[in-house]
């Protein structure tokens, strides 16, 4: 019964849901994909839907969330060859910024903060692993990492203003 009600509501309000997804995504094909994905998610979860308004609310929320997820996925993708397409001047600016940040890390952080920051950012270790390496408690590692990032952020902002 619930799946019949869900299907009926979906079919009757499909144009409205598609328009909502299109407003978020800005592309008709992506809106169709989001609409289908949202319906499929609800279809497979077997909600106990009793009324058409309940089905409409679930579908509306699912379409919105699926569309926003698609926008986030699109935004987070970075082409592998993006650096090659940057103008030479932008690549130099980026290299200068990275060198400035590395200089701040080398000059301004304590040895412990530098070690923790490098192990997290470049080594890919978790804070718990670093805590074991250094014989520290994980909250102490988090605090040192937070202070290191804050120091670099503040000094970089002062330098670039």
Q: What is the mean pLDDT of residues 130-141?
A: 92
pTM > 0.85: yes or no: no
Q: 126 pLDDT band (50/70/90 cuts)?
A: confident
Specify the range with the lowest mean pLDDT, choosing from 17-31, 34-48, 76-90.
76-90
Per domain, the residue ranges of the chain are 2-76, 82-160
Q: What is the mean pLDDT of residues 132-157?
A: 91
**What gap in Å lies between CA 29 and CA 17, rounded to an integer?**
13
- Looking at per-residue pLDDT, the higher value among 119 and 83 belongs to 119
pLDDT at 40: 85
Q: What is the mean pLDDT of residues 55-82?
A: 77
pLDDT at 87: 66
Q: What is the mean pLDDT of residues 14-24?
A: 87
Q: Do 2-76 and 82-160 share a fold? A: no
Identify the burial level of 101 via C-beta atoms within 10 angstroms of its C-beta, where 0-12 means exposed, 13-18 middle and 19 or more buried. middle
- DSSP structural state of residue 50: -
pLDDT at 46: 63
pLDDT at 4: 79
**Counting runs of H as helices and runs of E as strands, what totals does the chain give?**
8, 0
pLDDT at 132: 92
75-110 pLDDT, tens digit per residue, is 766 555 555 565 666 667 777 888 888 888 889 899
Pick the CATH number of 82-160 from 1.10.10.10, 3.40.50.150, 3.30.1330.120, 2.60.40.1180: 1.10.10.10
Question: Is the CB of residue 130 less than 8 Å from the CB of residue 141?
Answer: yes
pLDDT at 2: 63
- Centre a 10 Å sphere on the Cβ of residue 113 and count the other Cβ atoms it contains: 20
Residue 121: both structure tokens together: 């950012």
CATH architecture of 2-76: Orthogonal Bundle (1.10)
């Amino acid at each position: 019964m619930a799946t019949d009600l869900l299907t009926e509501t979906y079919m009757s309000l499909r144009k409205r849901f598609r328009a909502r997804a299109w407003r978020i995504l800005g592309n008709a094909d992506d809106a169709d994909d989001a609409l289908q994905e949202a319906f499929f998610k609800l279809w497979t979860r077997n909600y106990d839907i009793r009324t058409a308004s309940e089905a409409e609310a679930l579908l509306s929320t699912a379409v919105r969330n699926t569309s926003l997820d698609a926008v986030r996925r699109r935004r987070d993708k970075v082409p592998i060859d993006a650096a090659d397409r940057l103008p030479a001047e932008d690549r130099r600016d980026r290299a200068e910024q990275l060198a400035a940040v590395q200089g701040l890390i080398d000059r301004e952080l304590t040895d412990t903060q530098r070690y923790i920051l490098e192990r997290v950012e470049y080594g890919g270790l978790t804070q718990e692993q670093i805590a074991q390496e250094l014989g520290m408690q994980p909250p102490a590692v988090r605090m040192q990492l937070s202070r290191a990032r804050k120091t670099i952020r503040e000094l970089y902002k002062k330098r670039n203003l």
